[in-house]
């Protein structure tokens, strides 16, 4: 069955068409600058040339319409008609406590996603718009929602509760949810496959290190803790997000600089992380690594603090799980940066880890990068959230 995977942001829409049986990518692309001057569709059929179409897209419905037109185009399309698309899998950011797994989208489910808008004001409204645009243009095609938060719903209460008055949980559901769940689930399963062991027998730490970054502790296939919280701001140092800070800093800056809460939240989300630590040098890890290798102190400060937090979380999760069989690196930085993996693993000799330098410099494959005989194995597993969404969607539609 062909599954259209949609990842809808406020002004962008990424898509992939995947054959769920062969798990092959059929086409992929993205609509940029939806409802903004200069909108365009980038479309690439598998094995074909990338095509860029500049076209006005006043809203997400027009964007989806252009995507469907491209997929069914006589010359460059990949399917004859929309009937060849069996289902749509939507990447959804926040499912609150409603969803611990992927689900068929119904009116009731949409209402629950709407209820979670308060928890993810930048993402959930855009996700809902994407669902409604697809529903309007593909009536009768099943839609499935796959939530970033779902995999983390197995966290025990002691891991997900904040130590603030309990009524805030009761009244507003303020708790830790975690994100990147589809990636953490996919990578922990793939790691088990690479190690040739059932996921139910392994204690795995997944380091999803991209612009947004999070770590999770996956014990016997279930997430028991993760570094992001109520929002994706908690946890590791990220590209521009601060990660964990003393909450009193907010009050301190507010008083010092007469800033509002909104202004400070903007600073913590957009001007902090390695960008802030490097004194505004860059939020891109490639730039930072190049500068670090040339002796730039701002870049060194940022990368060292970034790695220190990863090391700290790994230590915490080893303790929480009473050991770890595997540590996995994934996402843009985790998959592509031997430097960061080196910096992190240099502090993990207590787990019996030594890196195989040659393996650590390979790219684009699932690979064990620790030396044979290492106590805890270290792996690089390229994440594939779209494939994971296609798999879950196909499973729901078939059942």
Positions touching ligand ADP (CB under 6 A) are: 210-212, 239, 284-286, 289, 331-333, 336-337
CB of 335 to ligand ADP, least distance (A): 8
Question: Of 59, 148, 171, 262, which residue is the catalytic one?
Answer: 148
Q: Give the phi and the psi of residue 202 in degrees, each rounded to 5.
A: -115, 150
CB closer to ligand ADP, 29 vs 332: 332
Is residue 284 part of an annotated ligand binding site?
Answer: yes
**Cα-based distances in Å from 117 to 113, 128, 163:** 7, 9, 24
Q: Give the phi and the psi of residue 4 in degrees, each rounded to 5.
A: -90, 120
The yes-or-no answer on residue 298 being catalytic is: no
Is residue 332 part of an annotated ligand binding site?
Answer: yes
Q: Give the phi and the psi of residue 91 in degrees, each rounded to 5.
A: -80, 120
CB closer to ligand ADP, 231 vs 336: 336
Query: Greatest CA separation found in the chain?
Result: 62
Strand order in the sheet with 51-54: 51-54, 40-45, 24-32, 13-19, 2-8, 85-92, 143-147, 103-104
CB of 334 to ligand ADP, least distance (A): 8
CB of 238 to ligand ADP, least distance (A): 8
Measured torsion, CA atoms of residues 31, 34, 37, 40, in degrees rounded to the nearest 10? 10
CB closer to ligand ADP, 387 vs 396: 387
CB closer to ligand ADP, 340 vs 397: 340
CB of 197 to ligand ADP, least distance (A): 27
Neighbours of 50 (CB within 10 A): 10
Q: Give the phi and the psi of residue 205 in degrees, each rounded to 5.
A: -110, 125
Q: For residue 156, what is the DSSP state?
A: -
Residue 290 CA to chain centroid, in angstroms? 25
Is residue 333 part of an annotated ligand binding site?
Answer: yes
Active site residues: 148
Report the binding-site residues for Mg(2+): 7, 385
């Amino acid at each position: 069955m062909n599954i259209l995977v949609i990842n809808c942001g406020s002004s962008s829409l990424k898509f992939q068409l995947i054959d769920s049986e062969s798990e092959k990518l059929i086409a992929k692309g993205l609509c940029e600058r939806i409802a903004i001057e200069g909108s365009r569709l980038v479309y690439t059929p598998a094995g074909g040339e990338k095509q860029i179409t500049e076209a006005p897209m006043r809203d997400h419905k027009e964007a989806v319409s252009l995507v469907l037109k491209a997929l069914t185009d006589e010359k460059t399309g990949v399917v004859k008609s929309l009937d060849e698309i069996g289902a749509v899998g939507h990447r959804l950011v926040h499912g609150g406590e409603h969803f611990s797994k992927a689900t068929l989208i119904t009116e009731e489910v949409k209402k629950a996603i709407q209820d979670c808008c308060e928890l993810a004001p930048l993402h959930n409204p855009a996700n809902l718009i994407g669902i409604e645009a697809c529903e309007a243009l593909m009536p009768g095609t099943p839609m499935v929602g796959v939530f970033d938060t779902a995999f983390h719903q197995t966290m025990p209460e002691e891991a997900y509760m904040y130590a603030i008055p309990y009524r805030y949980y009761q009244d507003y559901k303020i708790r830790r949810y975690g994100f990147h769940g589809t990636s953490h689930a996919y990578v922990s399963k793939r790691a088990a496959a690479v190690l040739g062991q059932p996921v139910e027998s392994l204690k795995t730490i997944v380091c999803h290190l991209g612009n947004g970054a999070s770590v999770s502790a996956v014990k016997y296939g279930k997430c028991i803790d993760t570094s992001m919280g109520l929002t994706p701001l908690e946890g590791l140092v990220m590209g521009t997000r601060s990660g964990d800070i003393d909450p009193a800093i907010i009050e301190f800056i507010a008083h010092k600089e007469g800033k509002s809460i909104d202004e400070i939240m903007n600073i913590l989300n957009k001007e902090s992380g390695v960008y802030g630590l490097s004194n505004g040098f860059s939020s891109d890890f490639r730039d930072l690594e190049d500068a670090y290798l040339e002796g730039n102190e701002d870049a060194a400060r940022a990368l060292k603090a970034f790695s220190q937090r990863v090391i700290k979380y790994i230590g915490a999760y080893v303790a929480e799980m009473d050991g770890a069989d595997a540590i996995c690196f994934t996402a843009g930085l985790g998959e592509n940066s031997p430097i960061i993996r080196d910096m992190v693993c240099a502090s993990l000799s207590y787990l019996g880890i030594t890196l195989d330098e040659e393996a650590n410099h390979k790219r684009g494959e699932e690979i064990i990068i620790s030396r044979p005989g290492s106590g805890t194995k270290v792996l690089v597993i390229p994440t594939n959230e779209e494939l994971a969404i296609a798999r879950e969607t196909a499973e729901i539609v078939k059942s």
